Copies of this chain bind each other. A is one copy, B any other.
Amino acid sequence: MPVTISDVARQAGVSKTTVSRVLNAGADVDAATAARVREVIAALGYVPRLGAVQLARGRSRTVAMFAPSVTWPWMGEVLQGVADTVEAAGYALMLFTSGGGPASMAHFTAQVSARVCDGLLAIVPERCLPAVAELARRGTPVVLIDDHGHRRPALPSVGTTNRAGGAQAGAHLRAVGRSRPLVITGPPRFGCVGQRLEGFREQLPPTLVLEGEFTERTGRDAVEHALAQGVDFDAVFAHNDQIAAGALRALRAAGRTVPDDVAVVGFDDLPMARSTDPALTTVRQPMREMGGAAASLLLAGLGGTPLPDGSLVIPTDLVVRDSA
């Protein structure tokens, strides 16, 4: 029922070859013939079926993106960076999630193995790294978006400067005259936690380091705990903005003024960082840029440019607002 290249050829009185030629605007075709073919194409509303083109050419012009979850607060930014870049290159974007557990992972690897995409972008939880590495080994070009500062990705990747970011936070707090910082980290199993802490420490030795989850709750609990213990601190470095938001809330509940009594610095620069009270000073992670850069790298790889061996690093920067 849908119109094919044969229909166009017949109507225009030429061969499929010729139709293909005017479609792909490569070889020379007689101007009059081309015009006639174009007319028929328009009249019939013909659009070449991409699947057939792909099979004939052997490439899908599709890039896949794998992400553990798409509901994380900064994931939208990464995804948008990827989507914009991929689309600008005329590629389609396929999205996979590991929301459904092992079944999801199986679905994902099956699709990639079946070559639905020419290349793969992935944000990979540590435990899924082997599966992705295996796909790469079997020939799918992969670029990792490294959200957690993995030590040796062994695959081309795009990361950011967790250590320098920690240092930026420390230097800023020192510059505004703080000397007794409380540091609230995420789970130490994430590489970024150690790195941020290390960078911070170089600039400003912490009075106390408390570990927790990357949640608002952790920020609240940590500050309440420190207060209850009578810890003497004049600053908080939170390992993400949600922890920072919790800290702000606990400080206010305890009657401490921010930034006068306690200065607070977060990490990430989520949209909500603008609307905490006071607005949060934070270390911005360039999530959208990272997504875009990873996509560019991959697309360049698909175009023939060899993928880099190590990690492309896009620096964090400090966004100074009102909390420190």
Contacts and interface: CB of A to CB of B under 8 A. Distances in A.
Contact of A114 (B50, B69, B271, B275): B50
Contact of A249 (B87, B95, B277): B277
A45 B79 contact: no
B245 A275 contact: yes
Interface in A112-169: 113-116, 138-139
B83 A99 contact: yes
B76 A116 contact: no
Contacts of A138: 45
A203 B38 CA distance: 61
A308 to B, nearest CB: 24
A97 B116 contact: no
Nearest to A271: B73
Q: How many copies does the complex hold?
A: 2
A49 B99 contact: no
Contacts of A80: 69-71, 97, 99
A71 B113 CA distance: 30
A267 to B, nearest CB: 16
A291 B70 CA distance: 13
A91 to B, nearest CB: 9
B115 A97 contact: no
B93 A96 contact: yes
Nearest to A99: B84
B104 A87 contact: yes
Contacts of A242: 275
Interface of A: 2, 45, 47-55, 60, 62, 65, 69-73, 75-77, 79-80, 83-84, 87-88, 90, 92-97, 99-100, 103-104, 107, 110-111, 113-116, 138-139, 216, 242, 245-246, 249, 252-253, 271-272, 274-275, 277
27 contacts: A2-B115, A2-B139, A45-B138, A47-B113, A47-B114, A47-B115, A49-B55, A49-B114, A49-B115, A50-B114, A51-B51, A53-B114, A55-B55, A70-B76, A70-B83, A71-B77, A76-B76, A83-B96, A84-B100, A87-B104, A87-B107, A88-B100, A92-B96, A93-B96, A94-B95, A216-B274, A216-B275
